[in-house]
Structure 1
Amino acid sequence: MTRSRKLLLTAVAGALIATPSLSQAATQSAPQRAPLTALSDLSQAVLPAGDAASNLSFDSRAALPKLAPTAAQRQAVARLGDAQVSWNASGTPRMIGVVGGALTGPSSGEPLAIAQRWLDTHRAVFGLSAADVSSLAVVRDHELPEIGATVLSFAQTFAGIESGLGAIMTVVVDRDGRVVSYAGDSVRSTGLSGAFKLTPAQALSGVVKSLVPDLKGFVAKATGEVLGGYQVFGGSVLGATQYVRKIAFPTPSGARAAYAVLAIESIDDAWAIIVDAETGRPLFRKSLVQHAEGTIYENYPGAKKGGKPKVVSFDANEQSPGGYLDPTGMVGLPGITLLGNNADAAKAWTVPLVAADQYNRTISPTGAFDFAFNDAWGTSNGATGSFVEDADAASVNLFYHHNRIHDEYYEFGFTESAGNFQLVNNEAGGTPGLGGDPIIGGAQSGALNLTSAVLALGRNNANMLTLPDGIPGFTNMYLWEFVDDAFEGEARDGDFDSTIIQHEYSHGLSNRYVGGGGLGSLGTGQSGAMGEGWGDWYAMNHLFREGLTRTAVTAPYVGDPDRGIRNWNYAKSPATYGDYGYDMSGPEVHSDGEIWTATLWTLRTAILKSVGGNQRKASDIAEHLVTDAMPLAPPTPTMLDMRDAILKASELRYKAKYTDLIWSAFASRGMGVSASTVDEADTDPVPAFDVPKKSANGTVAFKVVNASAGGPVKGVRILGGL
């Protein structure tokens, strides 16, 4: 490594820990929010943030009429032979594949060239021209570990401007050079309307003004840096760094010149907002924050297994060759604080007023981060300030698990080229992804409860703010305490519940790995529910693999030991696809996410039986299937899209070995071969419990009898569900 390279790395690492002082953060008053704008006025103003922020996400394209494939497209599809095709609302293919087979024969050459050639050969299927295909931008070139299949994702460009939201085309090429599947959400019209009349600074200023109208003195000043393709702006009086990128906003009739603004008011309040580059009007908005309700411990303090403090190594391993404390990620430099290539942890007591209290750090001059956990917060029943006694232990536990999860997901394919979280990327070959983005963890986030008079943001929760590859993501663990009719449990520190930590980190995995990554990877409907469901599933799958539990429960430390903070133990959940929207409040990502988790747990249970009860082997097989499927899916997938992606992932890695088992598991949860859904936003999907092999399907007959008069009752509709 050259001296200049070392200086650069030192500067980057230093930048990660430069934030306002505690006194500055504590004295700044919380800005007032704008009143809720009428939904009918979406074309005129950016919707304000608010307490019901999760309900304010919107997409200006939602009301556009659906387009059917053209006759020319259908004729082109017919030339694909036995391929099965599903369609987007834009009239383009969503997924293309051959059950148990491939779309082409073997071919020599590089996977990228094979994928580009296939797209060009079949451009009529997508309604594109040769020029459209040649202008596609490569956004992912990633090899799935051990099986030699390469995932190639391309973004459409419009007059030379890359799409910033979807318009992704993903081709999978196996080790023999066969194109095995396609997934995407492309559009047929590639013209660009509008002009970039606004500057990036003007776009950012307009967004900030609409989000926090009473904020005075905000000045959009560029720092000169570019991260992940986004121009970086100082936070000014807002505090947090802001990001702006020039993009094309795709619609079925072409794209609009636009700016993507990553507006970050705080860790608990951050948005991806796309505005028209000519008028400043909003085109799209979604929250970047995912919430859970809500020496080291492998599970949680007091657990039957993994419940005692354990000393673990922070030294180098295969997935982290520089160890956990070396910011360069390469040479194993000794570290005196919890900052490394994969993760950065600090005590974030003032959050959500500032992004992270990086100055408030755990220090060990010897590199031995051994701090006792006395559970002062719990034993004192949440006494004011008691959390300080265990703050160092909490930071170390969070830092360790972030590194552990990094290594686990790296082993299963979430590497540099997949868009993982690392300060320095070391992967050779392919498209290496962007560095500069270790996961930043806030321990005991918001513990000072400075916002309690306005809004209790520092208790009974956890969150993950996923930003695009190249920009660090943030995750925060909170203190838990009794709140009448809200959380009626014991005082706990969420930093010590490994399932909460892994749930939140998994939002980063799914947001960056599904459907080519980017802002359009997950939506707020079925894919958003799967984002929550994946988090629970990965956490439990890890604990079962390591023999740390045999109870399929998320957050047992802070929640109920029998069901955690969810409605059921996942091994006992009755929920199916037909129950989507069962929550009393209607469709809700956490409740509906339980359907997805229960389905994946049913799949894992079936795999466990097939491998003779070997928990480690079952966990590995299931995690390969679930993780391999993510980049094979289209952006904002439905649960049925992900079912199909898992089937294709299984074919790639295990041939037909688990095909029947997968179908059986999904069919038992209402996602059988005849199940259907309109799109990702569909809140009333049609369940079905059948499998492709008709001989394996059964029938059930009901006879409804009039209890009073006797005899049959005609015209009765029988409904099942929760």
Structure 2
Amino acid sequence: MKRSFRGLTLSLALLAGSLAPAQAHAGQRPAFNAYLLAQRPSNAAADRLATVRERAARAGGVVTAIDEQRGVPTFLWATRVAPLTRAAGISPEGAARHSLGRFADAYGLSRAALDSAHVVHVHDIGQGPVIVTLRQRVDGAELFQTEVKVLLRQSLDLVAIAGNLHPAAVPRKTGAGRGAFRLAPAEALARALEDLHGIPAGPSGVVEAQPAGGYRLFELAPGGALAAASLHLVGPARVKKVHFPMPETLVPAYFVELVSGDARSVASDAYAYVIAADDGRILYRRSLVASDAFNYRVWAEATDDGRPLDGPQADYTPHPTGVPDGSEPDFIPAPLVSMEGFNTNPDGAVDPWLPAGAVETLGNNVDAYADHHPPDGFSEGDLRATITAERTFDHVYDTSRDPLSSEPQIMAAVTQMFYVTNWLHDWYYDSGFDEAAGNAQQDNRGRGGLGGDPLHAEAQDGALAPESPRNNANMLALADGASPRMQMYLWNTPDARRTLTIQPGGASLDTGTAAFGPASFRLSGEVVLVDDGVDSIPDDAADGTRDGCEAPINDVAGKILLVDRGACTYKQKAVNAQAAGALGVLLANNVAGPAPGMGSGAPEDVAVSIPMLSIARDEGDRLKAALLEGPVTAELERVAGVARDSGIDNTAVAHEWGHYLHHRLTRCGTEQCSAQSEGWADFIALHMAIREGDDLDGTFATTIYAARGMGDSGYRGARRAPYSVDFDKNALTFRHIADGEELPAQPMGTGGGPENSEVHNAGEIWALMLFEGYVSLLRREEGGRRVYTHDEARRLMSDLIVAGMKLAPVDATFTEQRDALLAAAAARSEADMLALAGGFARRGAGTCAVSAPRASIDFVGVVESFELKPWSSVAVGQPADSVRSCDDDGFLDAGERGTVTFEVHNAGPVPLVGAEATVTSASPHVTFPDGAAIAVPEVPPFGAVTVAFDVRVDDAVADRAALELRVEVATPGACAPSVAGVTGAHLNVDDVPGASAVESVESEAPVWTKEGDAAEAVWSREKTDAVNHAWRGVDHPSRSDTQLVSPPLSVGAGEPLVITFSHRYSFEITPAGEVPAAIHWDGGVIEISDDDGATWQDIAAHVDPGYGGPIGNDPEEPSVNPLAGRQGFVGANAAWPEPERVTLDLGTAFSGKTVRVRFRIGTDAYVGDFGWEIDDIEARGLVDTPFGMLVPDASRCGDAPAGEGGSGAGAGGAGGAAAGGSDAPTDGPAPPSAGDDGCGCEVAGAPASRAAGSLASLLAVAALGLRRRRGGGRRGTS
């Protein structure tokens, strides 16, 4: 990683903190994720990363995104379809599990790890994509934020896999030690509260309530330290057991979710924690705050599905002129709309928003109220909207009056929020955001998910507080089963009048305003320059005693205090002046530029009651100079504009609701994902606002009503630029999410501030990409006619939004989320996918685009792509003697001709056309009869083709040789100009059993046996390069005891037994810096038996094998590893990753005996490592030769048929006959008459009579073995 997290909180707010934020009584705690910050494993992850794409390709897939911590896929496109269909009786779960098993090798998953995954949700709305989501459990506790999503078509063909599973998620056989939950849940909660609020109360500070929804619930203990500190829990804190994934292991932990704040305030903070259950350390922390039919008087369409209008103003989407002219729409009256609900539940009926007889805005989906009084949540003094007549909420909102001017005014805002949030619930319910998907409802009616969590829609939040939060909104998105909370605030508008007049001289100065203190005032008085007696900047030329950050030491009572900007919060200056009796405060800027706006801040528990205005630095300098000349007076006046209630701005409400949708359907904890959430939220609002007949080339904005105080909101809303497909109006592209990128030379608003990476600024670009794609869907044509009506495209886009979110990997990058959305579209229609993909490409997120690293905070590293291209890869198979073979032994020998196949995969949205493969080899013994250049057939999007070519071995090869082939595919127009793969094989050999005392591991008929329950998963014969092999025992990610056992070894009488071998190993140990340290969790030993395996002894009883330490030396759980307590090979060998040679001289202890030797690996129940690689095992002192051996081929092919002369020799042109010539040997017997496929074969060194006598049988073999496949170099199948 380039950099780790900065002080990041997941603020899902409508605007950035440049405006006055809601109070944060806990302070802003930085986001933290121990997994993302862990050092990358040097062995296991690096090894996996080197092979994962190859393994995926072998199974028929292309990996396009990787989890950098573990080197496993986070997004994989399937390019080969498995024959599974609903018609065959396969369920979506069955198809998903089959697909995961197919790619298990690429993900490094054992059968036990796959079996630990359970289905938590199946998204299937009867059309389009089917998404099966699986999560893992270990001993009943779920893995935190670890899940895999399998995307299928309606036919159940695999399209893609997103996310991944953890190989350590396997059942444990013991309950202590590394997997123990040593801390109690109350202790974990106390640790989280202490971190958040700084109050060390311990577990006695909380008391347990009744559990619910799989969580243990806790309240504050009455009279405890937490309650005494005025801490308040808005609802019970929720705690449950989880396993927190680290790159190499799982940590037992508790997930803690709490909403807390000062009992004297309506503000609160919501955080999720994961606390390690062994020692209480923090593993994860993030803020959860983002920012019968009834009649409702609301701004909504009175027809069709009652879609909300943009707000209390006429339709301004798109903008009528398309230029930033400062205009805003006229106000319009709200109609009376009748609505019962409009979703379609599983029974085909509607779920009513309110029950018959309801009298207030408290329904199954939403509880809407004005949250005016502390603490946070519905409490005494707060009010819901009530009916004005039977089944009627007819409250009229007067936009010319203050939002708090009357109770009907307040209830009108509450009614509007109730309506819009219910409408969004129903609209997205029909796209798959239902109970099982985790939507918010009091009663889930037995349809899955957790109930008891209706959305709390809080209007005018904190509006009666002395310093009420303004100019913002936020969404608290708790996990399913706890109510999400939407807080909508009042927003300031431009002042009706604001003046500052200085006497003598009558100068009128421009001013900036404060987000605290009175909003309207008029006063005059003498101006005095502060002297606080403390030079806060002693090394600076400026006078640091003039900043007012300390109590004034001069007489300021009854006067207007002039202070300099800097060194403390604006509010602190005002508090100090107020305490000293000042009438008001003027702040002079300390940098060039206009008078600054002054946000609120510390101290949060002190209200300011005196006015404060700011002036520019040069005006401040002139004012200070005038004070040196004599008395100066100032007259300050401010008449605030009528505040606007964001709760009646329907696009602002839709934005916040979009956060809830996103965070219920994804696992999102990084700044990059938070930026996407802002973009999703904006797009949810845009999607609701765009109507049939709108000019799609125009400019669109959200939050037009509420954000008037930010400037030209009619044109750009609260963002820097309007949403538009016209680059003359908005030229932002993918690169503009990165800090340091210069913005387009266009009129820009302030948006989220100066940093491109600020989540609202970066989120604009994600929303812009979605907007481009949606416009493409709306405009998509076939045969000159629109494919979809407006309403059809609108519903389709909603379906894809829900499916794309459900498919997203944990903490998705921009391009991973893009691929999830495109894959969802591809499962339904390739043409729809292309339309969306084109939208992404227009804004720089085309096929070849690269996201910033997952944990980046500045988003530097973005690579743009403005085209749709193929994304290619190649997988090369093994050579086979399948065209012309003399002995059908599987090896290519002298004079034989074989076939090599390779697959070209395309994970791009467009076909790969015109690709050409070139085959090369450094071997001088081979030629390519049909040429070394091979045309590759067109590879369809997200598909693969298989291509074959022939290779011929020179007749003159007399000894064994190695063949290494490289297939390089030129891919014009693809993301990479070429891709390559290698393969290899032994040439001109026979595999002779029982021929050697050296096990080279090259025989295709190994005589070693694998023993132990997981032996097949642990031990395998693997390639170490293109040709050679070794035994590999992986460090298994679950508890295992497996052995690789030799055949019987007969030691000569009086002969010493000496065993030598090469090996390298890397077994799991506690990573540096973790606790407990220096524990060798896994390891290997060597054992010997002289009674045919009835009993075994450690080889160390006879010779020092060079063991490195004790295996499984966890003092708290010594039995976690089957080999616990034994000395063995642990950690990594000294030369790692290079192998080392070991010699074991056993002397004559086994002289005259028959022995077996075994290599034994013991692993615990958690993630392993590379394991143990063993090669070239030699046993000296034997009287037999137990191992197979590759020897030079004993037979020799005769003349090849006419025309089989080769062309395209190996590298350097060596070894091949001229094109069109004969490659038959010049000596040897004449070939038999066997037609065009004839073959004459001769056993070297055999008597002539034997060769002749074998002719009939050899001809019979030839009839089977000589399979001539002409045109092999041009074959291709899809």
- Please indicate the TM-score interval, normalised by the length of the shorter structure: 0.7 to 0.9
Q: CA deviation at 1:537?
A: 0.7
Partner of 1:19: none
Q: Which amino acid aligns with 2:412?
A: A
Cα gap change, 1:307 to 1:411, in 2 (>3 Å) = farther
Contact 2:439–2:664 (CA<8 Å) still a contact in 1? yes
Partner of 1:205: 190
Task: Specify which of 66, 90, 98 is matched with residue 87 of structure 1.
Answer: 66
Q: Which amino acid aligns with 1:338?
A: T
Distance 2:446 2:141 in 1: 28
Contact 2:841–2:867 (CA<8 Å) still a contact in 1? yes
Other structure's SS at 2:794 match: helix
Please tell me whether residue 59 in structure 1 is matched to residue 236 in structure 2. no
Please tell me whether residue 513 in structure 1 is matched to residue 683 in structure 2. no
Partner of 2:46: 68
Cα gap change, 1:55 to 1:206, in 2 (>3 Å) = closer
Distance 2:47 2:378 in 1: 48
Q: Residue by residue, what CA displacement relative to the aligned partner does 1:34-83 show, whole Å, maximum 9, x if unpaired?
A: xxx998xxxxxxxxx95896671111222323323526755532322254
Distance 2:108 2:159 in 1: 21
Q: CA deviation at 1:681?
A: 2.6
| Structure with higher strand content | 2
Cα gap change, 1:691 to 1:304, in 2 (>3 Å) = closer
Distance 1:96 1:464 in 2: 32
Contact 1:231–1:244 (CA<8 Å) still a contact in 2? yes
Distance 1:542 1:614 in 2: 16
Q: Residue by residue, what CA displacement relative to the aligned partner does 1:620-658 show, whole Å, maximum 9, x if unpaired?
A: 33333333211122111111112211221111122x213
Partner of 1:643: 818
Please tell me whether residue 115 in structure 1 is matched to residue 96 in structure 2. yes
Contact 2:395–2:408 (CA<8 Å) still a contact in 1? no
Partner of 1:471: 482
Partner of 2:717: 564
Q: Which amino acid aligns with 2:720?
A: N
Q: CA deviation at 1:112?
A: 1.1
Please tell me whether residue 576 in structure 1 is matched to residue 715 in structure 2. no
Contact 1:504–1:535 (CA<8 Å) still a contact in 2? yes
Partner of 2:288: 288
Q: Residue by residue, what CA displacement relative to the aligned partner does 1:321-353 show, whole Å, maximum 9, x if unpaired?
A: 565443xxxxx43211111111111111125x3
Task: Specify which of 767, 787, 790 is matched with residue 597 of structure 1.
Answer: 767
Q: CA deviation at 1:368?
A: 1.2
Contact 2:414–2:647 (CA<8 Å) still a contact in 1? yes
Contact 1:673–1:691 (CA<8 Å) still a contact in 2? yes
Q: Residue by residue, what CA displacement relative to the aligned partner does 1:157-183 show, whole Å, maximum 9, x if unpaired?
A: 33442112x221111233223222211
Other structure's SS at 1:163 match: strand
Partner of 2:379: 357
Please tell me whether residue 232 in structure 1 is matched to residue 217 in structure 2. yes
Q: Which amino acid aligns with 1:541?
A: H
Partner of 1:461: 472
Please tell me whether residue 370 in structure 1 is matched to residue 370 in structure 2. no
Contact 1:296–1:312 (CA<8 Å) still a contact in 2? yes
Cα gap change, 1:323 to 1:152, in 2 (>3 Å) = closer
Other structure's SS at 2:398 match: coil
Partner of 1:297: 299
Q: CA deviation at 1:243?
A: 1.1
Q: Which amino acid aligns with 1:190?
A: A
Partner of 2:679: 533
Distance 1:215 1:312 in 2: 53
Q: What are the ranges of 5 or more consecutive residues in structure 1 without an aligned counterpart?
A: 1-36, 40-48, 327-331, 515-520, 699-722
Task: Specify which of 385, 399, 403 is matched with residue 422 of structure 2.
Answer: 403
Contact 2:341–2:353 (CA<8 Å) still a contact in 1? no
Please tell me whether residue 425 in structure 1 is matched to residue 450 in structure 2. no
Partner of 2:138: 158
Other structure's SS at 2:113 match: helix
Q: Which amino acid aligns with 1:60?
A: A
Contact 2:673–2:812 (CA<8 Å) still a contact in 1? yes
Contact 1:669–1:689 (CA<8 Å) still a contact in 2? yes
| Equivalence map 1:127-276=2 (5 Å) | 127-143=108-124, 145-147=125-127, 149-164=129-144, 166-190=145-169, 193-214=178-199, 219-227=205-213, 229-236=214-221, 237=227, 238-241=232-235, 242-266=237-261, 268-276=268-276
Other structure's SS at 2:37 match: coil
Contact 1:108–1:176 (CA<8 Å) still a contact in 2? no
Partner of 2:985: none
Distance 1:212 1:285 in 2: 14
Partner of 1:443: 459
Cα gap change, 1:690 to 1:620, in 2 (>3 Å) = same
Q: Which amino acid aligns with 2:677?
A: G
Task: Specify which of 335, 348, 368 is matched with residue 345 of structure 1.
Answer: 368
Contact 1:503–1:535 (CA<8 Å) still a contact in 2? yes
Q: Residue by residue, what CA displacement relative to the aligned partner does 1:658-696 show, whole Å, maximum 9, x if unpaired?
A: 333333221121111221135333311222222215999
Contact 1:72–1:124 (CA<8 Å) still a contact in 2? no
Distance 1:607 1:263 in 2: 41
Q: Which amino acid aligns with 2:158?
A: V
Q: CA deviation at 1:316?
A: 4.2
Please tell me whether residue 97 in structure 1 is matched to residue 97 in structure 2. no
Q: Residue by residue, what CA displacement relative to the aligned partner does 1:16-50 show, whole Å, maximum 9, x if unpaired?
A: xxxxxxxxxxxxxxxxxxxxx998xxxxxxxxx95
Q: CA deviation at 1:256?
A: 0.4
Distance 1:142 1:466 in 2: 21
Distance 2:282 2:649 in 1: 39
Q: Which amino acid aligns with 2:335?
A: K
Partner of 1:687: 864
Distance 1:82 1:212 in 2: 48
Distance 2:198 2:36 in 1: 27
Q: CA deviation at 1:606?
A: 2.1
Distance 2:353 2:63 in 1: 49
Q: What are the ranges of 5 or more consecutive residues in structure 2 without an aligned counterpart?
A: 8-22, 173-177, 222-226, 262-266, 292-296, 301-309, 317-330, 494-512, 515-596, 600-639, 708-712, 740-752, 870-909, 914-971, 975-1278
Q: CA deviation at 1:564?
A: 0.8
Contact 1:97–1:103 (CA<8 Å) still a contact in 2? no
Partner of 2:107: 126
Kindly, what percent of the aligned residue pairs are identical?
29
Contact 1:444–1:479 (CA<8 Å) still a contact in 2? yes
Distance 2:456 2:78 in 1: 41
Residue-pair matches, total: 621
Distance 2:795 2:75 in 1: 26
Partner of 1:44: none
Q: Which amino acid aligns with 1:239?
A: L
Q: Which amino acid aligns with 1:570?
A: Y
Other structure's SS at 1:190 match: coil
Distance 1:195 1:51 in 2: 34
Distance 1:585 1:282 in 2: 29
Q: CA deviation at 1:530?
A: 0.8
Distance 1:561 1:633 in 2: 34
Partner of 1:32: none
Q: CA deviation at 1:186?
A: 2.6
Cα gap change, 1:419 to 1:177, in 2 (>3 Å) = same
Deviates more, 1:590-599 or 1:641-650: 641-650
Contact 1:544–1:619 (CA<8 Å) still a contact in 2? no
Q: CA deviation at 1:557?
A: 0.3
Task: Specify which of 675, 679, 701 is matched with residue 553 of structure 1.
Answer: 701
Distance 2:718 2:973 in 1: 35
Please tell me whether residue 616 in structure 1 is matched to residue 610 in structure 2. no
Q: CA deviation at 1:444?
A: 1.0
Cα gap change, 1:148 to 1:597, in 2 (>3 Å) = closer
Q: CA deviation at 1:486?
A: 6.5
Distance 1:252 1:641 in 2: 20
Q: CA deviation at 1:440?
A: 1.0
Q: CA deviation at 1:268?
A: 4.2
Task: Specify which of 504, 513, 524 is matched with residue 670 of structure 2.
Answer: 524
Distance 2:703 2:258 in 1: 30
TM-align CA RMSD? 3.1
Task: Specify which of 335, 351, 361 is matched with residue 310 of structure 1.
Answer: 335
Partner of 2:957: none
TM-score, normalising length from structure 1?
A: 0.79
